[in-house]
Structure formats: C-alpha cells, structure tokens
Structure 1
Amino acid sequence: METKRQKQINELLRRQFSMVLLDEGTYIYDRAMVTVTRVVVSPDLQSAKVYLSVFNTENKMEVMAAMDENIHRLRHALAGKVGKQLRKIPELKFFLDDSLDEFFRMDQILTKLRAENQMGTEEE
C-alpha cells in the first residue's frame, strides 16, 4: 500500500517528467509523441517506474530504447525540476504502457461489430 508521501512523489515526478519530455523529447525520440501515464516510486523512494505511452511512430520499442540510452540526461533534467522538493532523485526505469492502444483496439472491434449489427439489440 502506498503512503501519502509516495503518492505525492508519484504525482510530482509524473508532472515534472512530462515537462522534461517536452524540453528534451525531440532530441531523444524525434517525431514520436511520448506521454507519461503514471509513475510508481518504491517505498524507500530510491527507484521509480515510469510508464510511458508512445504514439506517432511505427516502432515503439525503438523509442523506448532511445529513452533508456538517454536515461542519465533525462534524470539530470528531472533533478533540475524537482531538486528543491527531493533530496535524492530516484533511479528511473521506463516501461511501455500500452493500455491506451488496447482501449483503441477494443473500441475498433466494438465499432466494427456495431456496424455489422452483430452485437444484438438491448431487447435480446
């Protein structure tokens, strides 16, 4: 269970890392659009899992690899934004969050079924 402090730090890191991506993003991943969906900091506040959604690119894993290659640059930029609120900046680990992709895929399936009239009616 997350403590109140963990929740506060999760939100702080999510907001500020989003700003870092706005500043540093085009250098790292060119035209792809990357958004921070959530951050989960460990109970000891030493590490943080950063969940990212990647759009506008064919190869999402290439973007994730570029993020990993530039992790020190990104962490340093994050330190510049949260250095006054946190004594130590957590180690970052990036994860691909494909929940939005899954949502869009399911929405397309449902739309197709509705168009083909295969979902039935509310009366059935």
Structure 2
Amino acid sequence: MAKEFGRSARVSSEMQKELSFILQRIVKDSRLGFVTINEVDLTKDLAVAKIYFTVLNADADGKKNHVKWLNQLAPVIRHELAKRMRLRHISELRFLYDDSFDTGMRVAELLSDIDKADTDAEQE
C-alpha cells in the first residue's frame, strides 16, 4: 500500500510552518513587509526548496525587491530553519513571488465587470 503523503510533502508542510514563524518572529529586517508563505515546493531529494510567497500591499517594484531581499537573507533563514527542523541536510532556499493571488483578483475583477455590463444591458 502506497503512502498517501510522501516524505517530501510532509517535510514541505513542516518547512512552510517553520518559515512562517521565522519570518514573523526571528528575522528583524525593516525592509520586509507582511510576508505570507503560500507554498513550499521541494525536489524529491529535498536538496532545493522553492518558496512561494506573497506580500501585503506591495507594488511591482516592492514585489521584486522582496524577492531580492529574501534571497539575500536565505542563508540566515536557512540557518534558523536548521535549528528548528530535525533534518540531516537543509534544502537550499529559493524565494519566488506567488502571483496566483494577483491573477485571481484580476479574474474576479473582470468577471465582476462582465456581470455589471450584463446587468446594465438587461436594464436598458
């Protein structure tokens, strides 16, 4: 019988929780805004972790800057992660901005505009 959740899924779930805690409580960088970790995607050998995040109230330049800053802080974050997780090797951390929320909001806005146009057309 195959396991429902593989090791990499369990490790990525735990890593997401720990990264959220580290960014909220331990990393004291005034440049970082309210960062939310959406997903951690690990390779099968757990060597590389792609960390998808969003930032509250950030423009396009702010998003790019957050990617740059988080990738600069990756060694410090990785060290803290190593203290908190019981793994022999800690993955290399790569931070990527998750634009799925922005895309979803844009789609919802477009659908709202279509619904509004249909309502206006029915009233005429």
Would you say same fold, with TM above 0.5? yes
Query: Which residue of 2 is the match for residue 7 of structure 1?
Result: 9
Alignment match of 2:68 (pick from 43, 47, 65)? 65
Q: In 2, distance between residues paired with 1:28 and 1:17?
A: 17
Q: Is the 8 A contact 1:28 1:66 kept in 2?
A: no
Name the amino acid aligned to 2:95.
F
Q: Does 1:81 align with 2:69?
A: no
Overall identity of the aligned pairs, in %: 26
- Aligned-partner SS, 2:102: helix
Q: In 2, distance between residues paired with 1:67 and 1:28?
A: 12
Query: Which residue of 2 is the match for residue 19 of structure 1?
Result: 21
Q: In 1, distance between residues paired with 2:28 and 2:113?
A: 36
Q: In 2, distance between residues paired with 1:13 and 1:19?
A: 10
Deviation above 4 Å: which 4+ runs of structure 1? Answer: none
Name the amino acid aligned to 1:8.
R
- Written as runs of structure 1 = structure 2, the 5 A alignment for 1:34-45 is 34-45=35-46
- Count of residues paired in the alignment: 117
- Written as runs of structure 1 = structure 2, the 5 A alignment for 1:44-123 is 44-58=45-59, 59-82=62-85, 85-117=86-118
1:29-53 Cα offsets, whole Å, 9 max, x none, are 33x2211111111111121111111
Indicate the RMSD between aligned Cα atoms, in angstroms: 2.3
Q: TM-score, normalised on structure 2?
A: 0.82
Q: TM-score, normalised on structure 1?
A: 0.82
Q: Is the 8 A contact 1:34 1:53 kept in 2?
A: yes
Q: In 1, distance between residues paired with 2:109 and 2:6?
A: 38
Q: Is the 8 A contact 1:50 1:93 kept in 2?
A: yes
